[in-house]
């Protein structure tokens, strides 16, 4: 997180700063409470950066607590992925990871306490029937016929719910608040439901599970969370959060809401992301087109770029939509500083230098990163036959602004020589198969005395030592700015058919043969690329394009 001296404090920082100065708190404790029912996405990254960043900024601590109250959708694999993602982003939680399931017995006791106070009751109606009694925002709801059960009967029924004596969905524990309350969440909300499902940590020890609104605030309180940070959709839940804390007479954690991260051209719903995975639209949760942290990592994003992006977005009180190009700018900016420059040809066409000695190979020096001199230089092989990009040759007469190869034109080969095109060959389809050039021996980069001026510079890879590689070009998964914002259309209708292009005949400079998983490079003139963690094998790297050199997205 940026130093507060570089910008004014956002509203949550102001609240914390005042709480510490006034002595309300001696230190702060925040928490990040993910549900282990899917992989974390870029929206969660904002919450991670906020909670862990505030604790670091103000000398406090952050708990990582899994909200594992729905065994039907939860899995250990999700827990492990979340732990890995938080660590990868560079954050450390206080002590060991915590789980709401750690507090199941205590939460059960809290529910019993409410029953004994006459503030909770067991309802025999189904959730569907109860929903019809809720009323509307302008009309009060209808009291349940079981609302006035005695405390003794409610205690007995709740105990029997725990013992598994009732069918799933046949009983539910509700808070007794006010069916005419202006806030719909205060109209006798659900506290516990019956679920016969094996929990990933507690096994079959429980068949009743607390609802989120009941477990959330009480877990915060048990951990003495000073500032419980939630996204804006939980603002209407805050009265219930506070009501439960008040009537249970427990530590009063303060809930504060902030605007969630919304990106255009992006789906943030875990339910919808899961559908993409289950329907095999993508290659798992970590598909490089997914907005998941693991997907971004596999694509080549750096943790620094994501943290910087979250800092740029800032913390606001109102929802807005951030342009995904800002995320792309953040990784482009960071990779520009740290990524070695290499050469790879994605759509190869052979270029033969007529007057270069046959059988000769020379090693030419080239700088690794002009942004960082400490990265030094390396040598690359050069010979009579090289690969160039198909798009770097035009057989027809080019326009005045064309500075690449065409018959009679001159270009510099990056870190090598100046060449002039003398001709080309094509097949029966009219496709160029070979380009012919002459080179100027005294035009070598670094010692050029030819006096020849060349406006164009193109990249290349020497044929004999080239590494065959696969390159995967990723684009946005959706071609609509708000794929889940159309009421009359399903978000799947906006899938971008060109979101993945697989190139299997790429030619790469020999240094890339031993590139390691996660290593990022700038392929000169083409973009930033990273070694894929799933598809690469030793000596046969597969590269994912992380981002183009410039924002090339054309809005419709």
CA–CA distance, 353 with 384 (Å, rounded to integer): 5
* CA separation for the pair 462, 359 (Å, rounded): 12
Helices (H) and strands (E) in the chain, counts: 12, 25
CA distance 75 to 60: 30
Residue 94: C-alpha distances to residues 30, 121, 227, 228 (Å): 10, 37, 15, 16
Pairwise CA distance, residues 441 & 450, whole Å: 8
Q: Which residue has the tokens 């009219």?
A: 430
pLDDT of residue 538: 84
For the sheet with 120-123, list strands across it: 120-123, 172-175, 190-194, 208-210
Longest dimension (CA), the chain: 101
CATH class of 342-464: mainly beta
> What token pair was written down for 441?
């021996």
**Is 260 in the active site?**
yes
User: Does residue 349 sit in helix, strand or coil?
Assistant: strand
Same fold, 4-258 and 342-464: no
As assigned by CATH, the class of the 270-338+469-508+515-547 domain is mainly alpha
- Helix, strand and coil percent figures for the chain, each rounded to 5: 30, 25, 45
Domain 4-258 has CATH 3.40.50.620: yes
**CB 205, CB 199: distance < 8 Å:** yes
End-to-end Cα distance, the chain? 35
Find out whether 255 and 228 touch, Cβ atoms under 8 Å: yes
Length of the chain: 556
Q: Where are the domains of the chain?
A: 4-258, 270-338+469-508+515-547, 342-464
- The single residue listed with the structure tokens 């914390």 is 16
- Cα–Cα distance for residue pair 420/407, rounded to 1 Å: 8
Pairwise CA distance, residues 34 & 26, whole Å: 26
Of all helices (H) and strands (E), which one includes residue 368?
Answer: none
Per-residue pLDDT of the chain (556 residues; tens, 9 = 90+): 444 446 789 999 999 999 999 999 999 999 999 999 999 999 999 999 999 999 999 999 999 999 999 999 999 999 999 999 999 999 999 999 999 999 999 999 999 999 999 999 999 999 999 999 999 999 999 999 999 999 999 999 999 999 999 999 999 999 999 999 999 999 999 999 999 999 999 999 999 999 999 999 999 999 999 999 999 999 999 999 999 999 999 999 999 999 999 999 999 999 999 999 999 999 999 999 999 999 999 999 999 999 999 999 999 999 999 999 999 999 999 999 999 999 999 999 999 999 999 999 999 999 999 999 999 999 999 999 999 999 999 988 777 788 899 999 999 999 999 999 999 999 999 999 999 999 999 999 999 999 998 989 999 999 999 999 999 999 999 999 999 988 889 999 999 999 999 999 999 999 999 899 989 999 999 999 999 999 998 888 899 999 999 875 444 3
Q: Go through 374-390 and write b for each residue having 16 or more CB atoms within 10 A of its CB, e for each that does not.
A: eeeebebbbbbebbbbe
Contact between 50 and 229 (Cβ < 8 Å) = yes
Residues 6 or more apart in contact with residue 390 via CB below 8 angstroms: 347, 348, 349, 432
- Residue 426 CA, distance from chain mean position: 45
Q: Look at residue 552 in the predicted model and tell me its pLDDT.
A: 57
- Looking at residue 7, what is its pLDDT? 73
270: annotated active-site residue: yes
Strands, DSSP E only, in 124-205? 172-175, 190-194
Q: Looking at residue 335, what DSSP letter applies? A: H
Per annotation, catalytic residue among 270, 384, 404, 545? 270
pLDDT at 555: 43
Q: Tokens 């000596």 correspond to what residue?
A: 539
Residue 504, SS3 per DSSP: strand
- Between CA 109 and CA 115, with CA 111 as vertex, the angle to 5 degrees is 115
What pLDDT does 6 receive? Answer: 62
Residue 35 bears catalytic tag: yes
Catalytic residue among 187, 260, 384, 507: 260
């Amino acid at each position: 997180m940026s130093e507060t001296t570089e910008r004014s404090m956002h509203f949550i920082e102001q609240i914390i700063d005042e709480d510490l100065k006034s002595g309300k708190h001696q230190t702060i404790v925040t928490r990040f409470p993910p549900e282990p029912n899917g992989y974390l996405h870029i929206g969660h990254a904002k919450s991670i950066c906020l909670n862990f960043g505030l604790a670091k900024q103000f000398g406090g601590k952050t708990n990582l607590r899994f909200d594992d109250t729905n065994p039907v959708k939860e899995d250990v694999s999700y827990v492990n992925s979340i732990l890995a993602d938080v660590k990868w982003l560079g954050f450390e939680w206080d002590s060991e990871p915590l789980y709401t399931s750690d507090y199941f017995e205590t939460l059960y006791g809290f529910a019993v306490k409410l029953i004994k106070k006459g503030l909770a009751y067991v309802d025999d109606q189904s959730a569907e029937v109860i929903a019809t009694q809720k009323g509307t925002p302008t009309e009060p709801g209808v009291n349940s016929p079981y609302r006035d059960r005695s405390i003794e009967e409610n205690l007995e029924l709740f105990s029997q719910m725990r013992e598994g004596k009732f069918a799933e969905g046949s009983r539910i524990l509700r808070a007794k608040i006010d069916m005419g309350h202006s806030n719909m969440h205060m109209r006798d909300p659900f506290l516990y439901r019956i679920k016969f499902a094996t929990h990933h940590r507690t096994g079959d020890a429980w068949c009743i599970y607390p609802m989120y609104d009941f477990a959330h605030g009480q877990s915060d309180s048990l951990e003495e969370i000073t500032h419980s940070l939630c996204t804006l959709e939980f603002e209407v839940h805050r009265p219930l959060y506070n009501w439960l804390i008040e009537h249970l007479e427990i530590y009063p954690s303060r809930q504060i809401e902030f605007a969630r991260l919304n990106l255009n051209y992006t789906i943030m719903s875990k339910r919808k992301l899961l559908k993409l995975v289950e329907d095999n639209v993508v290659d798992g949760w970590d598909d490089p087109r997914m907005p998941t942290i693991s997907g971004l990592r596999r694509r080549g994003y750096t943790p620094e770029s994501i943290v910087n992006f979250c800092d740029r977005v800032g913390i606001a009180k109102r929802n807005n939509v951030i342009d995904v190009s800002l995320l792309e700018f953040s990784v482009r900016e960071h990779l520009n500083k740290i990524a070695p420059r290499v050469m790879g040809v994605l759509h190869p066409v052979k270029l033969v230098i007529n007057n270069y000695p046959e059988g000769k190979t020379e090693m030419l020096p080239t700088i690794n990163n002009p942004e960082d001199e400490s990265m030094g230089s390396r040598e690359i092989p050069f010979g009579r036959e090289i690969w160039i990009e198909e798009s770097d040759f035009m057989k027809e007469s080019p326009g005045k602004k064309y500075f690449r190869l065409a018959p009679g034109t001159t270009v510099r080969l990056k870190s090598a020589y100046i060449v002039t095109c003398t001709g080309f060959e094509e097949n029966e389809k009219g496709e160029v198969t070979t380009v012919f050039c002459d080179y100027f021996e005294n035009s070598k980069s670094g010692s050029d005395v030819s006096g020849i001026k060349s406006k164009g510079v193109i990249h290349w890879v020497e044929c004999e030592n080239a590494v065959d590689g696969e390159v995967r070009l990723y684009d946005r998964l959706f071609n609509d700015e708000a794929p889940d914002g159309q009421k009359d259309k399903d978000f799947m209708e906006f899938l971008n058919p060109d979101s993945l292009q697989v190139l299997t005949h790429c030619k790469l400079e020999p240094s890339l043969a031993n590139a390691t998983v996660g290593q990022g490079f700038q392929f000169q003139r083409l973009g930033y690329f990273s070694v894929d963690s799933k598809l690469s094998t030793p000596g046969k790297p597969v590269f994912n394009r992380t981002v183009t050199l410039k924002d090339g997205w054309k809005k419709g």
